[in-house]
A = this chain, B = another copy of it.
Amino acid sequence: MRYSKEHKDETRRRIVAKAAVRLREKGLHGIGVADLMKEVGLTHGGFYAHFESREALVIEAITRAMDASIGNWNKLAGTQDRASQRASIVEAYLSPQHRDATGHGCAVPSLGADILREGARTKRAFAAKIEEMVAALGEVIGEGDPAQRRAEAVAAMASMVGALLLSRLASGELSDEFLQAGRRTVLGTPDAPADSSEAPGGARARK
């Protein structure tokens, strides 16, 4: 063999990693095989030594991206009390950093709509990962019995995904308002339950 097994595995890993970033940034059809391989420093013909088809790579890249989210959440489990864990996750998810780092963020807001139009294989893989995300989230942020924890995770995920997507879509002021609203919805209303200190136009503290 020209290259060791490790070399081939490493090349494959680099392709998947790059795809996981670029697909989230540019959409499920936003980058082609040729451009992707060029970014990894190779030519497009070699792609099919690693993957059966473009779709196979897409599924792997998505899986990898979502496993990263799940892994981050699992790592947090048991490190603090549940309320603090919830706060950590929500603050990170609804931060301007996450909003602006599409390529390295959660795949649900950036690729969700795209996935709905893909083939059954891709859709199934994504749906399975969403189940895992809910389960992981329930373990880290939920309180009470399993059903209660799951319900909290489901609700939190919906608000976080919607707030992040809308904060990316909205311009200026409103973008931060979505992040802020999402934090309040999921964490309760810590600072001011019904005050009017958030008059439009005011600067909005983050974090």
Residues of A within 8 A of B (CB): 26-27, 29-30, 102, 108-117, 123-124, 126-128, 130-131, 134, 144-148, 150-151, 154-155, 157-163, 165-166, 168-171, 174, 177-178, 180-182, 184-185, 194, 196, 198-200
Contact = CB atoms under 8 A, between A and B. Distances in A.
Contact of A27 (B110, B113, B154): B113
| Copies in the assembly, this chain | 2
A141 B109 CA distance: 25
Contact of A182 (B130, B158, B169, B194): B158
Main secondary structure of the interface of A (DSSP, over half): helix
A111 B113 contact: yes
A155 B162 CA distance: 9
Given A154-B178, A158-B178, 16 more contacts: A27-B114, A29-B29, A30-B117, A108-B166, A112-B166, A113-B114, A124-B171, A127-B170, A130-B174, A145-B196, A147-B199, A151-B198, A155-B159, A159-B185, A161-B162, A162-B163
A179 B106 CA distance: 21
A158 B169 contact: no
